[in-house]
Structure 1
Amino acid sequence: MSMEYRMRRTLPSDRVAIIMPVDHGLIFNRIEGLETPSAPFAAWGDSDVTGFMLTPGQVKQTERFFARHPHLTRVLTIDTYYDYTRLDGGGSHRLITTVEEAVRMGVDAVKMLFPWNISNAERAALCERVGKVVTACDAWDIPLVLEPVLIGAPRTEEVIVEEEKVARIAYDLGAHIIKIAFPGEERTRRLVDELRVPLVIAGGPLSGEPSDTVDAVGQTIRAGARGVIVGRNIWQRERPVAEKVLSEIATLTRSVSFPD
């Protein structure tokens, strides 16, 4: 399979992708809504999402489901980070599997965190790690989704500005897709225009009214992002509310297309 084939599966040209992350157990352990880690796929796979972000364990348990739903893409998380609550550079980032193993599993893309509120020594080691993953991804023709983030930090103006800067580093390291927490419509548009790498926007933890989530997605799409990563703002809400939010988001994502 080629890089182009996998990119087009991950980010379709006829709409904005809706990728539902359910990989939170790698950092959060047992989390509300994911008590049974394999449950979200059957629960949401027919609800107009285009794919899921998942863990190696989830890939193994859901092979039959995805064989029956070949239109759904799979983005495999290949790393973890401890402790996500520490803001003083005390956390530690490591890979948990390889690009080669991801290709053997048949997934469409791999995803890594790119946490920047760590020590300078760990930043250098992280950049080296990312560089090796990018090289392997290019060799195996599978996209890397890289996520610049200040782990555990509040969404202050300073944090948003810093994450925008780190997105440039992710670009320079060779990320094929950049995933970033929503920095606002104007900043999203600037990142899309300047980096010219597909941008996907993360919804983050459950917060605000359902209309806030839909509005943020609308801004994301107007700014030119290729995908939205929406998990907890869907599956941690009451089911009827979650279905309504997802339906409204899906309508927005189908309102645009991208050049082939």
Structure 2
Amino acid sequence: MSMEYRLRRVLPSSRVAIIMPVDHGLIFDRIDGLETPSAPITAWGENDVTGFMMTPGQVRQTERYFAAHPHLTRVLTIDTYYDYREQDGKGSHGLITTVEDAVRLGVDAVKMLFPWNMSNEERVAMCNRVGAVVRECENWGIPLVLEPVLIGAPRSDEVIVAEEKIARIAYDLGAHIIKIAFPGEERTRRLVAELKVPLVIAGGPLAGTPSDTVDAVAQTIRSGARGVIVGRNIWQRERAAGEQVLAEVAAITRQYQFQD
């Protein structure tokens, strides 16, 4: 399979992608809604999502389900990161699997965090690590979703500006898709226009009312994003409310088509 084939599966031209992340166990403690790691996949796979962001364990445990639902895509998280605020005050990032293993598992893309609130030495090591993964992705024909982020930082104007700059570094390192916390309509539109790399926008933790989530997604899509990464704002809500959010979000995503 080629890079182009996999990119078109992850980001279809007929709509904006809805990718549901369920990979939180790599970083977080036990959280509500993810006590059984594979449960959200079978619970929400029939509800008009286009795919899931998953851990290696989840990919292996759900092979039969995805074989029976080949329209759903899988983005494999290949790294983990532990908070720079803990222990010695430094972040710690590393790979947990390889691009070759991802291809062997049959997934459509791989995903890495790109944390930047660390020492300059760690930043250089991070860039080298990303560069090596990009080379492997090119060799195997599988896209890399790279997530520029300041881990644990509040969503201040300064942080938003910084993450926009980090997104440019992600582009320069060769990311095929950039995942970023929503920086506002104007900044998203500018990033889309300048970088000319598909942007997908992270939904973040459960917050606000269902209508707040739908409005945020609508702003994201109007700005030119090719995908929305929405998990906890759906599967941590009461079931009826989660279904309402997802149905309204899906309706918005189907209003857009793309010429690739």
Tell me, yes or no, whether TM beats 0.5: yes
Q: Shift of the alpha carbon at 1:211?
A: 1.1
2:20 touches 2:231 (CA, 8 Å); kept in 1? yes
Quote the residue 2:19 is aligned against. 19
Q: Shift of the alpha carbon at 1:208?
A: 1.2
Quote the residue 2:189 is aligned against. 189
Q: Distance in 2 between matches of 1:122 and 1:87?
A: 16
After superposition, the Cα gap between the structure-2 partners of 1:40 and 1:186, relative to the gap in structure 1 and judged at 3 Å, is same
Q: Which amino acid aligns with 1:251?
A: A
Quote the residue 2:213 is aligned against. 213
Q: Distance in 2 between matches of 1:153 and 1:65?
A: 37
Q: Distance in 2 between matches of 1:229 and 1:88?
A: 32
Q: Which amino acid aligns with 2:100?
A: E
Which is further off, 24-33 or 82-91? 82-91
After superposition, the Cα gap between the structure-2 partners of 1:85 and 1:254, relative to the gap in structure 1 and judged at 3 Å, is farther
Structure 1 vs Structure 2: percent identity of aligned residues? Answer: 80
Q: Shift of the alpha carbon at 1:133?
A: 0.1
Q: Shift of the alpha carbon at 1:83?
A: 2.2
1:96-138 CA-partner distances (Å, limit 9, x unpaired): 0000000000000000000000111110000000000000000
2:83 touches 2:152 (CA, 8 Å); kept in 1? no
Q: Shift of the alpha carbon at 1:30?
A: 1.2
Q: Which amino acid aligns with 2:152?
A: G
Quote the residue 2:69 is aligned against. 69
Unmatched runs of 5 consecutive residues or more in structure 2:
none
1:231-246 equivalences under 5 Å are 231-246=231-246
TM-score (norm 1): 0.98
After superposition, the Cα gap between the structure-2 partners of 1:123 and 1:63, relative to the gap in structure 1 and judged at 3 Å, is same
Quote the residue 2:118 is aligned against. 118
1:60-92 CA-partner distances (Å, limit 9, x unpaired): 100000000000000000000012655996110
Unmatched runs of 5 consecutive residues or more in structure 1:
none
RMSD of equivalent CA atoms: 1.2
Quote the residue 1:253 is aligned against. 253
2:115 touches 2:149 (CA, 8 Å); kept in 1? yes
After superposition, the Cα gap between the structure-2 partners of 1:103 and 1:114, relative to the gap in structure 1 and judged at 3 Å, is same
1:88 touches 1:118 (CA, 8 Å); kept in 2? no
Quote the residue 2:98 is aligned against. 98
Q: Shift of the alpha carbon at 1:24?
A: 0.1
Matched residue SS, 1:255: coil
TM-score (norm 2): 0.98
After superposition, the Cα gap between the structure-2 partners of 1:198 and 1:182, relative to the gap in structure 1 and judged at 3 Å, is same
Q: Shift of the alpha carbon at 1:29?
A: 3.0
Quote the residue 2:129 is aligned against. 129
Matched residue SS, 1:214: helix
1:158-216 CA-partner distances (Å, limit 9, x unpaired): 11110000000000000000000011111100000000000000000111111111111
Q: Which runs of 4+ in 1 moved over 4 A?
A: 84-89
Q: Shift of the alpha carbon at 1:27?
A: 0.0
Matched residue SS, 2:138: helix
Q: Distance in 1 between matches of 2:14 and 2:43?
A: 24
- Aligned residues, how many? 260
